[in-house]
Amino acid sequence: MTGLTDFGARMTRIASEMRKESDDTEAALRSMTKFAVDAIPGAEYATVTLVANGAIETPVMVGDLGGEADRLQRELGEGPCIRAAVADLTVWVDDMRDETRWPNFAAAAADLGIRSMACFYLYIDGDDSAALNLHSTEPRAFTPEARQLGELFAAHAATAFGAVQEKQQLRAALGSRDIIGQAKGMIMERYKLDAGEAFSLLARLSQDTNTKLVDVAVQIVEAGPES
């Protein structure tokens, strides 16, 4: 229990660091993956598997062998990482040479030298899903305690990752508001309209051209004032 308590305190500190230091989601994922390899017993390599709009991606990896494992799963359409990501499960493989759930992947992964894996569902807000995956060249590398630590790690990391996403969304919203305000000001000056009329003109342009309002605003600002 002491080990879990210490690990939880460490994860709280890591999550705080990720919120402070990460400026984008890729950086947050990279930090999380690196921390996982350092913190969880048995882990030699790690990846994040992202399932978005039906496509399977590996945005971050620690170690080429982990990346190769993800590549195999993308090509074969099967494997523990995909299963954990789409089914909200913790999935582990004690020994690839004895694995029967994904026979094609298991045989190919064993040939690469991967012996055991532990994959943890990583909650991402929205329709996308993801898994944090740990790999080892040793069979039965992930003990029950290591799996428990991995689940705790994934829960904390998802919280930090969500905070980074919220920060990005807020920045994007503020940026959109600023650019729309600039465009509105230019329209008011150019056509001698008040603020409400200028915004209505922007909205009409957006509707008529089937273009997002913020994109219309960007076009106006980039075009600049009339000479």
What are the structural domains, with CATH classification, of the chain?
A: 1-164 (3.30.450.40), 171-223 (1.10.10.10)
Q: Which amino acid is at 209?
A: T
pLDDT in tens, 208-222: 888 877 787 888 887
- The fraction of the chain above a pLDDT of 70, given in percent, is 78
The predicted model gives 105-126 an average pLDDT of: 91
At residue 52, the 3 state secondary structure works out as strand
pLDDT, greater one: 15 or 199: 199
pLDDT in tens, 65-92: 999 999 999 999 999 999 999 888 899 9
Report the chain's mean pLDDT, rounded to a whole number: 81
Would you say residue 116 has pLDDT above 90? yes
pLDDT in tens, 23-65: 566 677 777 788 889 889 999 999 988 887 778 888 888 999 9
* Long-range contacts formed by 91-97: CB under 8 A, 24+ apart: 91/117, 91/118, 91/119, 92/116, 92/117, 92/118, 92/119, 92/142, 92/147, 93/117, 93/118, 94/139, 94/140, 95/139, 95/140, 97/139
Would you say residue 168 has pLDDT above 70? no
The predicted model gives 142-151 an average pLDDT of: 90
User: Band of the pLDDT at 1, cuts 50, 70, 90?
Assistant: very low
Would you say residue 3 has pLDDT above 60? no
Would you say residue 9 has pLDDT above 70? no
Q: How far apart are CA 182 and CA 14, in angstroms?
A: 39
Residue 119 in contact with residue 131, Cβ under 8 Å?
Answer: yes
pLDDT at 209: 82
pLDDT at 68: 95
Closest CA to 85 of 108, 56, 60: 56
Q: How far apart are CA 158 and CA 9, in angstroms?
A: 16
pLDDT in tens, 175-192: 667 777 888 888 888 888
pLDDT, greater one: 158 or 162: 158
Would you say residue 167 has pLDDT above 60? no
